[in-house]
Structure 1
């Protein structure tokens, strides 16, 4: 596909040294020192690094807009990619469950999603990448999940444990069990029995998880843990090579991660809301303390850019550092050294925003247009 060769002038451009009025040149899918391409006047706009989303499951809304409507996953992903681009996201890690919960979180659906991501990947502009979220209690699936990871070339795996252990340990019926079971077409009593069986074998999980982690590390797979709560839990994860801490729930877990130099990813919606929706640690407070390496969309793509501006406007940090939390920060966490900032030699990933309204006017991913509208589109198209 053709890649733009342009020289953008007149805009306020965010580089690693700050926001300034300077030209930005693109050629062959990269940021370059200068370009002989067309000149586009973007006065009145901001040009910022393309957003790198390290973890998001908002794409699920496009795959199943109604219960049971899960037929054409490729078309759903194409619609999700359009939403990503319209929000300035140029690289997206699509977080897909592999869980005992079944339905859209079950192994069969995960296989379909990963197949669809591969099928549409070359035809969309946004760099779509797969993340597998594995429920560690599924001991009988360790070999199967490892084969799935290899089959689809998945480069980032996160370990979860969402079993309601406290209720199961007490012999109680977990909340929402009936609705969850019926949603996936399973008898509630059978579903409870299945969960109890998984809970009873949790003592076997640590050794199995250690072996799986070691095997995946030899394949170059990044490993993360989800919802860390304790210092001990983070230390155990680190000992296995599970170094990325996704959405840790307590200040103690975050401080333990930072002490061990483990990257910390927090949710952008947590920042936008002013706190966690379920009472966990405040992302804003953790950013203020310098304990967060990246923000992720979690379940809401628009929250990424909104979080960055909120942090800058409120004086928590300046725009350069705030935007780094959604661009160069997640790029570094994911090992993507070729993107995340507007400097020569990096991928031409950028978002053009109206300087007054801060609405996304254009998104360019790898030197190709993924989204464009309004006055910015008219200037690009009318450039001569």
Structure 2
């Protein structure tokens, strides 16, 4: 069988350390070679658009909003998964860690027993080759939850997990140490203040005991299964010290510069939200992503709750932080998250790596995805 060959020419290639005007050849789903100037033979003319590696997304909450688009409403699981996948791919993301929440909140939020139905829909879509992007699982474990341990144990018996995050959203600490911000967040959707206050009292009352019981069990389970760990919303030096003792690999959205500096010094990779960078600050009043980037502490960006923010933030980063060029900015959404999760076959434009690629054109300062290839096959 003849090799499948495609040449992309007249492109601005965003390489690991520079941007060059040139061309790229794909053979059987992998990058065969690339070069500056004119291509050795004619291919697809990208008309001067940027060509960047496919984006690697480690933390997106967006799948649950497709499955549960309104309070009390549940969409068809497979339909929700495929609609989400289409949006992910159209945002230039070729590898996504689907963030699925394990553990029921005291106020009843969370997927509960529906977690398995959604995970099974992902497995079914993968088995039927319906996905545009490659999907992996990021299990977001809500530590102060009565059912989180049973839920996680059952889940890992049935489904592969690529990342586990340790999350504690107890009001008065971490992300919600500012109680005014917490009540503002909890009140979205028009929930009665009486119900919010009652739920808040339960969370504060039970949170410490549940955390003390559940966190070491989850850490041990991840270690047994060989699953990398992330710690969510570390705020104090004590939080980081605990993460370091637990061999956490990824600091998700540290809420203070102090925590980010300590994580970085401990060799824990720091990830911040792309919406935080675009908006100029955290919606919870925590440390700004651009401040950490200016200090050399930011390694990875995550789209969090807006998939399209990932590419936009990467292109805006050099404008926000002049010491960061486009190649380094693109690495925060490609090479760096790939490296953090040991995906060594993607994340850069280099011979031998998977041809996960995104053609990007800018319009009024906004990066627009024009085409996407995953393993050499065009998916957008």
Confirm whether residue 354 of structure 1 aligns to residue 330 of structure 2.
no
Matching residue within 267, 274, 291 for 1:268: 274
Question: In the aligned structure 2, how far is the partner of 1:200 from the partner of 1:64?
Answer: 27
Residue in structure 1 matched with residue 26 of structure 2 by the alignment: 26
* Partners of 1:250 and 1:134 in 2: CA distance: 22
CA shift digits 1:294-340 (9 cap, x unpaired): 00000011111111111123424100001101110111112211110
| Equivalent residues in 2 for 1:65-84, closer than 5 Å | 65-84=69-88
Paired residue for 2:303?
Answer: 297
In structure 1, the partner of 2:176 is none
Over 3 Å counting, the alpha-carbon distance change for 1:301 and 1:197 in structure 2 is closer
Q: How does 1:300-311 map to 2 (within 5 A)?
A: 300-311=306-317
The equivalent of 2:287 in structure 1 is 281
**Contact between 1:214 and 1:241, CA under 8 Å: does it hold in 2?**
no
Tell me whether 73-82 or 136-145 shows the greater mean CA deviation.
136-145
- 2:113 pairs, out of 96, 104, 108, with 108
User: Which segments of 5 or more consecutive residues in structure 1 lack a partner in the other structure?
Assistant: 167-173, 372-384
Distance 1:261 1:92 in 2: 24
1:43-54 aligned at under 5 Å gives the runs 43-54=47-58
Backbone CA RMSD of aligned residues: 3.0
Q: Does the C-alpha gap of structure 1 residues 74 and 60 become closer, same or farther in structure 2, counting only changes over 3 Å?
A: same
Distance 1:153-1:193 versus aligned 2 partners, 3 A rule: same
Give how far 1:140 is off. 4.7
The correspondence for 2:157, drawn from 150, 153, 164, is: 150
1:188–1:272 CA distance, 2 compared to 1 (3 A): closer
Residues 175, 311 of structure 1: alpha-carbon distance in 2 compared, 3 angstrom cutoff:
closer
Q: Which residue of 1 aligns with 2:125?
A: 120
SS of equivalent to 1:347: coil
Moved more, 209-218 or 343-352: 209-218
User: Greater CA deviation, 272-281 or 313-322?
Assistant: 313-322
Compared CA separation, residues 202 and 30, structure 1 to 2 (3 A): same
Q: Distance in 2 between matches of 1:3 and 1:139?
A: 54
Q: Is the 2:58–2:138 Cα contact (8 Å) retained in structure 1? A: no
Alignment of 1:52-63 (within 5 A): 52-63=56-67
TM superposition shift of 1:125: 2.1
Figure out how many residues of one structure are paired with residues of the other and give that number: 359
Contact 1:7 1:36 in 2 (8 A): no
TM-score under structure 2 length normalisation: 0.85
The whole-number CA distance in structure 1 between the counterparts of 2:225 and 2:328 is 33
Distance 1:331 1:294 in 2: 10
Give the distance between the partners of 1:219 and 1:274, measured in 2 at CA. 38
Deviating runs (4+, > 6 A) in structure 1? 34-38, 176-183
